[in-house]
Amino acid sequence: MSIDYEKELNDKQLEAVRATEGPVLILAGAGSGKTRAITYRTAYLIEEKGIAPWNIMALTFTNKAAREMKERISQMTENSSSKVWVSTFHSAALRILYAHAEDLGYSPDFEVADQPDQKAVIKDVCKKLQIDTKEYKEKTLLNAISRAKDELLTPELFEEENYGNIRKRVYVDVYNAYQEQLKKNNTMDFDDLIMNVVKLFRDYPEILEHYQDRFQYIMVDEYQDTNTAQFELIRLLAKKRRNLCVVGDDDQSIYRFRGANIRNILDFEDIYKDAKVIRLEQNYRSTSNILQAANQVISNNRGRKAKELWTNNEEGKKIRFRQLDSASGEAAFVADDIRERVRRSEASYKDFAILVRTNVQSKEFEDAFRVRGIDYDLVKGLRFWDTKVIKDVTALMLTAASGENDLRTQRIINIPKRGAGPAAVEKLSAYAAFHGMSLLDACGHAKEAGLSGKAAIAIQEFYEEKMRVRSLSDGIPLGQFLDLVLQESGYMDYLNAEAETPEEFTEKLSYIEKLKNSLVEYEEEAEAPDILDFMRMNGIEGSSMDQDSAPDNPDKVLIMTMHNAKGLEFPFVYMVGMEEGLFPGYASINTGDEEDIEEERRLCYVAITRAMRELTLTCARVRMINGESRFASASRFIRELPLGMLDMNITPQKTERGVEIKPVRRGFTGTKLKLGREIRIVVPDYEVGDRVRHFKFGEGTVKELVKGEKDYEVTVDFDRLGVRKLFAGFAKLKKI
């Protein structure tokens, strides 16, 4: 087929396509059509330059990206894509190793260890070496081995690098034993694939030359995400002919925690002195205002190559910024905003994406959507109430509070482990059924149920622990009740022992902290706080609002982390939790390493450039942390935006019933923004008999309105939860 390159490509894309000889660096900004440039470049090599398809290699990071690239090339080159070597790094390495395994001492039918296999090997190694896996977590050891392989450190080189480091001696011994056991079983792990191809090429120049002659033109996508081993593999393959084209964007390098080395793209011109650099800066995705915001933020990074996105798209709306009173208020604003836009037929729910820094932030948004009946999906993550840690803790609390739900008792009867196996639970269940009692009550009759020895003692202690918690919990705040349950059950020690890395333990703690915050907020609002009422309100205990049982609906709001949003685009994007300490996080701030902040800023840039039509940034003035309300300042990434770029909705307003909002701005310095608190004088705009909506409790009818010294006390009969007494200023009820 004939391709009109000049008609179908812009000037810079065309330049990239025609730059076929020697080293080429294509700096492809977000939404600039880099995949288009790569596929057209492949077609150009075949159709215009007469290069045989089998002499072209294109490497990328995901099977999905490789498939899409193949399909596009196939459509343009009359099915030549089957002869072009388009694959992921690891797939390419595997094909080479299958052909040359014997040169490395493996048989041709070697196997590749998956994660369960790796865990089994490391577990066996730790057992043989008598390593305390409470001190040296198995996952931490595997991560250390993986990072070593990313850096092309064999066990011998790893030992040299850590010579004299007593603590690292354990890692050295484990790495050696781990590799020995893999080799003994004729097995490589995922990280071995690239490292072993590099070893093959270094040890056998004739094999390397064979592949250098085979792959005369090499292209690499997402080059900013390559690690040291991948860099060396590419360097060796391209060394003879030097026809290497790498495509990437240093501003979108956000995977340092996975081993990505941003220096690979930043230093490309130092490594290849004659490299041709082409910048794809025209964006086809976003409005001009969104791109200006992205450019403004990323310009604060020092470790980057200069580039600036631009577009022929419309200017679009300003970047909306809203600072809400609390995390739940932030979620309510977003949920109401989305619902109103859909009601006005401006968009469908599937057009909206909420980007969070960490999955634990999703809890408030899940609550807000559930109350409003808005369908949503949490992309690549479990919903807050479905995570194991929250299911465990709520089961511990409910069992201590009532013990009537046998399924919950059964869930935590052996958490932490106490030797109550399936046979013991079966005996207890049979005893409970025969005597018409709950499983928890049957635990108080362990010996009568037929248990003996350690199992009987352990189950009796389990029962007494729950009774003790119940007796001590009378009248104490729910946050303290949670602390009591965790302390008496030993769950925190269990959680620490089960976590494979310190980071995993910290993440699980954040979920428990979020649960405690939710309990404290609920108790501040409820007239008669009760743990069972809290669970029912959140859809945990007997709720009819279980979304998992509802028919699947493709028209859903998506909630996802900013990392998971890379490569995607949405008409409407909400970047939430834009606060110092959350984004950027305290971990990045406290290291004192500017590169940590720059990585966070690159993540902010990636998130901003997901938006096509409108971008909204939100944060909370007060966020609940470990049961305490703490003030939060707006993220530095917001303060890096010029004021004229933001729609802050700061015009004073008065409602017809007298609600007055006087925004206060103070501390302006140039384009930097410091936000003060709003002064609110609240007079309810609803009366007895009016229908109102609460951001968490849903809709209801006002039954009573009484003026107090500082606020109005309002009684509402909520459709789903019944009668509640609330303070009007805190409840922020909306008349409907």
Distances from the Cα of 100 to the Cα of 110, 327, 360, 662, angstroms: 11, 57, 46, 74
Most confident of 78-87, 262-271, 387-396: 262-271
| Range scoring the smallest mean pLDDT among 92-96, 100-104, 264-268, 484-488 | 484-488
pLDDT at 162 over 70: yes
The partner residues of 419 in beta bridges, in order of sequence, read none
- What is the C-alpha separation between 672 and 338, in angstroms, rounded? 29
Q: Is 149 helix (H, G, I), strand (E, B) or coil?
A: helix
Return the higher-pLDDT residue of 90 and 660: 90
pLDDT at 549 over 80: no
pLDDT tens, position by position, 341-393: 999 999 999 999 999 999 889 999 999 998 899 999 998 877 888 888 998 99
Mean pLDDT in the chain? 87
Q: Please give the average per-residue pLDDT across 579-603, as a whole number.
A: 91
Which residues, including other chains, have CB under 8 Å from residue 304's CB and lie 6 or more apart? 250, 251, 266, 298, 598
At 714, the pLDDT band (50, 70, 90 cuts) reads: confident
State residue 653's pLDDT score: 36
State residue 540's pLDDT score: 60
At 7, the pLDDT band (50, 70, 90 cuts) reads: very high
Q: Please give the average per-residue pLDDT across 218-237, as a whole number.
A: 96
Query: Quick one: what percent of the chain has pLDDT higher than 90?
Result: 56
Q: Are strands 111-113 and 85-88 parallel, antiparallel or unpaired?
A: unpaired
State residue 652's pLDDT score: 35
**Location of structure tokens 């009692």:** 437
pLDDT tens, position by position, 311-326: 999 999 999 999 999 9
Token pair in block for residue 602: 């690159």
Q: Please give the average per-residue pLDDT across 237-253, as a whole number.
A: 96
Cβ atoms 478, 520 nearer than 8 A = yes
State residue 660's pLDDT score: 33
Token pair in block for residue 336: 């109401």
pLDDT tens, position by position, 623-639: 887 677 788 899 999 99
pLDDT at 560 over 90: yes
Please give the distance of CA 638 from its chain centroid, rounded to a whole number.
Answer: 21
> Could you give the dihedral angle defined by the CA atoms of residues 116, 121, 123 and 129, in that order, rounded to the nearest 10 degrees?
-170
pLDDT at 198 over 80: yes
State residue 590's pLDDT score: 83
Residues involved in catalysis? 34-35, 221-222, 252, 610
- What is the C-alpha separation between 122 and 144, in angstroms, rounded? 12
Please list the alpha-helical segments (H only) found in 530-681.
531-537, 586-590, 594-608, 636-639
State residue 454's pLDDT score: 85
